[in-house]
Amino acid sequence: MSNAIKKFVADECGVTAIEYGILAAAMAAAIGLIFGADGVFVTALRTRFNGIAEQIGGTGGKTATTPAK
């Protein structure tokens, strides 16, 4: 019985799998934070596209004028 316990304690095969699992969980959390609905990347894109849309629509500080006929 003590031989089996010694082999179990010395066996490190499962340790690598656990480390990869922790790394995958950390990467998933980081991706969720960056690309989530209120993430940094999405917020920056939304701000940039809203600014571009305002400039195209004529509400970006300059008023759009219609040419006289």
DSSP conformation letters of the chain: -HHHHHHHHH--HHHHHHHHHHHHHHHHHHHHHHHSTT-HHHHHHHHHHHHHHHHHHT-SSS---PPP-
Identify the residue with better confidence: 7 or 47: 47
pLDDT one-digit tens code per residue, 22-49: 999 999 999 888 888 777 888 889 999 9
Locate 34 and state its tokens: 């960056």
Distance from CA of residue 30 to its chain's centroid? 5
- Determine the pLDDT at residue 57: 85
- Determine the pLDDT at residue 67: 57
- Determine the pLDDT at residue 62: 54
Q: Average pLDDT over the chain, rounded to whole?
A: 80
Q: What is the average pLDDT across 3-17?
A: 77
